[in-house]
Amino acid sequence: MNNLVLTLLSINKVGKKTTTNFIEKMQNMPKNEADIVDMFVNMKIDNNRIVVPKLEEVKIAREKSQCIIRESKIKSIKFVDILSNNYPSHLRYIPNAPVILFYKGNYESIINKDCVAVIGSRSADEKGLKSSYRLGGILSKENYSIVSGLALGCDEMAHKGCLDVGGSTIAVMPCGLDNVYPKENYNLAEKILNNKGCLISEYPVGYKSFKNSFVERDRIQSGLSLATIVAQSDVNSGTMHTVNFTLEQNRILACLDMKSSLNRKIIDENKGVVIGNDYDISEINKKIKEYKNNYIIRKPIN
């Protein structure tokens, strides 16, 4: 059955968690809407909290998913779900992996290149902003795709540093890709697309950002990346979420040697690689090589 994941997500009261559970218990691909209902019935045997949708509800969800696909196509937005061989391998097995990704632009920059996230505070000082910009350029010259969140401040500068040396960069969005958030970075988003970069989101067209979507976005930034580097941030910043996800996902964490409280926390607790004023990333490169040598890619469900 085509577009199974998007159909499941379009069923009333079915979210990412239930969709993931459905996929994990699925032994054969459903052939039609009736098969989906039968699967929910079987799931309810093990979990009485599962709500079994009616056949008509599944048919409506299938139509809704087709509508999302049509609207996305008009806006040059494509998608890949977790059942696909083309789903990013490093993202597939993180806790709470997104079951679907919508993207716009050059998807090759995600799946055919090593990614490193460069993140930081929206309110970074001049040194932090310049450092984030410089990191974006240095890492790009090492042939990494730069991942960040398009936010004002450090994220924005990391994207720009990458672009200014001809690199490819990926912006993970907290909303549907028919919108750009924040709107102040609309031109930057266009520049990313025009320079072999990519915009990516787990949310469909028409989806507006809300408080928790920023946190959910953060796990994707770290999940796509082999390493996450904090340019400058305090512990009360949203950057802390990405740091926690990086550690939870057993990815490489690094930070610049800055006085900001989150940078100091990482350094004082020996949680990551420290990058000094010389911007030497040889230790990051070494750890990424070790990680890749030990990384096992598991095949998706057929």
Distance of CA 245 to the CA centre of its chain: 11
What's the pLDDT at 296?
A: 54
Query: How many whole angstroms separate alpha carbon 17 and alpha carbon 1?
Result: 20
Binned at pLDDT 50, 70 and 90, residue 299 comes out as very low
pLDDT tens per residue across span 15-49:
999 999 999 999 899 999 999 999 999 999 988 99
Share of the chain above pLDDT 90, in %: 91
